[in-house]
Amino acid sequence: MRVFVIIVFLIVSIALTAIVLMQEGKSAGLGAISGAAETYWGKNKGRSMEGALVKGTRILAIAFVVITILLDMNLF
């Protein structure tokens, strides 16, 4: 069972790294200063690819922390 959890942990770690690297930098959002945030993409960012990446990052980060705690507690 422990080997399975470690394999899942490695997959989550690699996926989390990849998904973070795929996200845009915060410097791409500097158009908000001039009012460009009210565009179609600014209003529907949660439905775009970037929104999906943010949601995926949150899910993978939570899974990473939970699995880390479980592995540290030596329950397996």
What is the per-residue pLDDT across 17-67, written as a single tens digit (0 to 9) for each?
Answer: 999 999 887 665 555 555 555 555 555 666 788 889 999 999 999 999 999
Cα–Cα separations (whole angstroms), residue 56 to 10, 46, 53: 16, 12, 5
pLDDT value of residue 32: 53
pLDDT value of residue 50: 86
Closest CA to 72 of 24, 5, 17: 5
Q: What is the pTM of this model?
A: 0.71
As separate numbers, helices (DSSP H) first and strands (DSSP E) second, the chain gives: 3, 0
pLDDT at residue 3 is higher than 90: yes
Residue 60: CB atoms within 10 A of its CB come to 20
3-state SS assignment for residue 43: helix
Which band of pLDDT confidence, cut at 50, 70 and 90, is reported for residue 4? Answer: very high
